Amino acid sequence: MSQFKTTPKFDGQCALILHRPHPVVDAITRQLTQLGVRYQTHWPELPADLDAAAFNHLFYDADMGHDGQFPWAPGKAPMLSIALIGSEAPGRLAWAIRLGADAHLLKPIGSGGIFAALVIASQAFESRAAQAAELSDLRERLAGRQVLAEATACLMMLDNISADAAYERLRRTAMTERKSIEAMALQIVEQLRSGHVRTDRA
Amino acid sequence: MTSSLQTVPVGVLFSTSGPYAALGREGLAGAMLAIAEINADDQYGLKLAAQVRDPRGSTEQYAAMAADIVGTTGARHILGCTTSWSRKEVIPVLEKSATMLWYSCPYEGFEAHDQVIYLGACPNQHILPLLAFALPRFGTNGYLVGSNYIWGWETNRIARDIIEAAGGPVAGERYVPLGDVDIGRIIEEIRTKRPAFVVNTLIGPSSYAFLAAYHALGQADQTFSQDVRPVLSCNFAESEVAQLGAVAAGQYAISPYFQSLATPENRRFLDTAKQFAPDAVHISAFFAQAYAAVHLLAAGLAGAGTDATDAVREATKFVSMTAPFGPIEIDDATNHAVLTPRIARAVVGGFDIVSDMETAIRPDPYLAYSPVAVASDPAAPSPRVSHLRVIK
């Protein structure tokens, strides 16, 4: 019935709440306590020296919020973020999205909703982080493709061998030196450019 | 709001027909017994005027009837609901009208509403201790069967979680529409898969049909008798055992209350029942917890001196009271009762208690703290036990 093989747990985690003192905050803290989540509340801004690594969740006010409240750039929150929305005015929603909402809660907040928001936001945050890591890896590889082609071409000309043999030599050298093939290619190209040519003729 | 507490209107909202009528009738009888008892003496210095409505098992009726109770009688407190569907239907009415629901049935958890007092067990008080009992005794490959709604889905999801953590596998998982009695395919699958036990979260006629067919299988093949591959349940009532006879015998059930509980408070309660409700022969947790809910409400009303919900809820948390199943405490963080689970085995006509942990377990409706796994040492105490006041 569900993709959760195990029951989602938040016991022992810590949340930041960025909202002025209000019944909304009381409703959130009551539910966090039921889930075993500790919390800190701040207003009007998060401390500049905040130890972000100590926190797992951020609840932020989308009604009165602005970029200057956070010690990080919009969209760069190092923890999952849940927007607390009163006004559904498009301008406010645009800001909440730009801040990087992984989930949202509509005010007023009653006796439920925090668990669902945390579960949904955790999934969104994890998949966002995994996608960002994959994207950065792919970008790196894409950038490496040109230098890979250049290194292969250099080895072909230098040793008068086929493209396949040049690539194989590059691959084996990378393995011997315990480097990624892209890093090995870059090293060879840079050595060639500086005149220090060394290839494995073995 | 009632300024003088001489007579307080209270809603009573149970279904006495439909797929879970047996449980609804028990809840109604338990609530009405407590109301009759409270009105007959002066122990709380007030009387309760029951405003009874019967949604007849129709989920759509619950919100309308709750609104009718609130709108026409001035009641600020409603006892009732059996299924989670019906409770979820009633909650918006509670929120709009500052009304409190006293919910007395076991349910699947993942809720802790400010305007609901939960007297029944949540998963860390039912399916977790039930499987902690069963897995070391019968094996880990359990079969899960349930009615096709949230109680079955979620209780079985937790059971699957525990079974897989213990090495499993889950032998099978099947759902039956509410009221459906066509379970031949499920029995055939059980016969093929030969699970160590069956977790039964079916309700009403589906459950009875399943137990009858499983009993027939056990008669035809002794290796499927309940002595070898038992059925486990978190919501089976004494009246159902009596109704089914030999067909239900041998299955295990977990509950904070069984009629056979041999304690002074239960003997007193059964005497009271005999006096005020002589027709109530089979008394289950659904009955006893609805009864306890009314007493807790009356004590809360007396303590608060008003029927305003916030005041009554807070007063309830300071009530020292002994329910038929032991001392009662409402957890401040979750509005759920601290309960002591007992495990019993059905015999013809009732339940024999086979394991009484005698340890109250604090409610953990979101399973925030409870390990969703069976301890390698089944004798190890739960780390989240309660420290109840001893009430003489």
Position A156 in a domain = yes
Gap from A79 CA to chain B (nearest CA, Å): 20
- pLDDT surpassing 70 at residue B381: no
The identity of residue B322, as a single letter, is T
Q: Taking the CA atoms of chain B, what radius of gyration do you get in angstroms? A: 20
pLDDT at B383: 39
Query: What is the three-class DSSP state of A14?
Result: strand
The full length of chain A comes to 202
Q: Which residues of B touch A11 (CB under 8 A)?
A: 368-369
pLDDT at A198: 55
Can you tell me the mean pLDDT for B13-35? 93
- pLDDT surpassing 70 at residue B4: no
Position B240 in a domain = no
Q: Residue A4 — pLDDT band, cuts 50, 70, 90? A: low
On whether both A93 and A178 belong to a single domain, the answer is no
On whether both B105 and B158 belong to a single domain, the answer is no
On whether both A157 and A101 belong to a single domain, the answer is no
Q: Which long-range contacts (CB under 8 A, 24 or more apart) does A89-97 make?
A: A92/A62, A92/A63, A93/A62, A95/A62, A95/A65, A95/A66, A96/A62, A96/A65
pLDDT at B378: 46
pLDDT at B376: 54
The pLDDT tens digits for B259-308 are 999 999 999 999 999 998 888 889 999 999 999 999 999 999 999 999 99
Position A135 in a domain = no
The pLDDT tens digits for B234-246 are 989 999 999 999 9
| Domain of residue A180, residue span | 142-193
The whole-chain average pLDDT of chain B stands at 91
pLDDT at B372: 82
On whether both A107 and A172 belong to a single domain, the answer is no
On whether both A25 and A107 belong to a single domain, the answer is yes
Position A136 in a domain = no
On whether both B112 and B131 belong to a single domain, the answer is no
Q: Do B110 and A1 touch (CB under 8 A)?
A: no
Position B206 in a domain = yes
C-alpha B286: how far from chain center: 6
Q: Domain holding B307: CATH number?
A: 3.40.50.2300
Position A183 in a domain = yes
On whether both B318 and B290 belong to a single domain, the answer is yes
pLDDT at B170: 96
> How far, CA to CA in Å, does B350 sit from each of A7, A140, B128, B226?
34, 70, 23, 16
Domains identified in chain B, total number: 2
C-alpha B225: how far from chain center: 27
- Residue to substitute from A2, A5, A6, A14, interface B, most B β-carbons within 10 A: A6
Position A130 in a domain = no
Q: Which residues of A touch B111 (CB under 8 A)?
A: 111-112
Query: What is the three-class DSSP state of A68?
Result: helix
Position B300 in a domain = yes
Residue that terminates a domain, selected from B293, B313, B338: B338
- pLDDT surpassing 60 at residue B31: yes
Residue that terminates a domain, selected from A73, A94, A112: A112
DSSP type of residue A67:
G
Burial of B183 (0-12, 13-18, 19+ CB in 10 A): buried
Q: Give dist(CA A112, CA A6) in Å, integer.
A: 21
Can you tell me the mean pLDDT for A162-188? 91
Residue that terminates a domain, selected from A66, A95, A112: A112
Residue that terminates a domain, selected from A74, A94, A112: A112
On whether both B110 and B27 belong to a single domain, the answer is yes
Can you tell me the mean pLDDT for B139-151? 93
Can you tell me the mean pLDDT for B89-107? 96
Q: What angle do CA B212, B215, B218 make, to 5 degrees?
A: 155
- pLDDT surpassing 60 at residue B386: no
On whether both A71 and A157 belong to a single domain, the answer is no
Q: Which residues of B touch A35 (CB under 8 A)?
A: 366, 368
Report the complex ipTM.
0.80
On whether both B33 and B132 belong to a single domain, the answer is no
Q: What angle do CA B373, B379, B385 make, to 5 degrees?
A: 70
On whether both A90 and A169 belong to a single domain, the answer is no
Q: Domain holding A183: CATH number?
A: 1.10.10.10
Can you tell me the mean pLDDT for B76-102? 95
Gap from B314 CA to chain A (nearest CA, Å): 15
Q: Residue B178 — pLDDT band, cuts 50, 70, 90? A: confident
On whether both B269 and B206 belong to a single domain, the answer is no
pLDDT at A5: 63
Domains identified in chain A, total number: 2
Do A110 and A46 form a contact (C-beta atoms < 8 A)? no
Position B87 in a domain = yes
- pLDDT surpassing 50 at residue B392: no
Position A125 in a domain = no
Chain A residue at shortest CA distance from B88: A112
Position A29 in a domain = yes
| Domain of residue B190, residue span | 127-233
Position B249 in a domain = no
The chain B residues in contact with chain A (CB within 8 A) are: 95, 110-116, 153, 157-158, 160-161, 164-165, 333-334, 365-369, 372
User: What share of chain A has pLDDT > 90, as a percent?
Assistant: 74
DSSP-derived pairing of the beta strands B350-356 and B342-347: antiparallel
Q: Give dist(CA A92, CA A90) in Å, integer.
A: 5
Position B354 in a domain = no
Can you tell me the mean pLDDT for B165-177? 93
Q: Do A5 and B367 touch (CB under 8 A)?
A: no
On whether both B282 and B313 belong to a single domain, the answer is yes
On whether both A165 and A88 belong to a single domain, the answer is no
Gap from A15 CA to chain B (nearest CA, Å): 15
Position A127 in a domain = no
On whether both B117 and B135 belong to a single domain, the answer is no
Write the residue in B157, B334, B365 that is nearest to A1 by C-beta: B157
Position B85 in a domain = yes
- pLDDT surpassing 70 at residue B99: yes
Gap from B246 CA to chain A (nearest CA, Å): 33
pLDDT at B261: 95
Q: Residue A145 — pLDDT band, cuts 50, 70, 90? A: confident
On whether both A77 and A147 belong to a single domain, the answer is no
Position B279 in a domain = yes
- pLDDT surpassing 90 at residue A172: yes
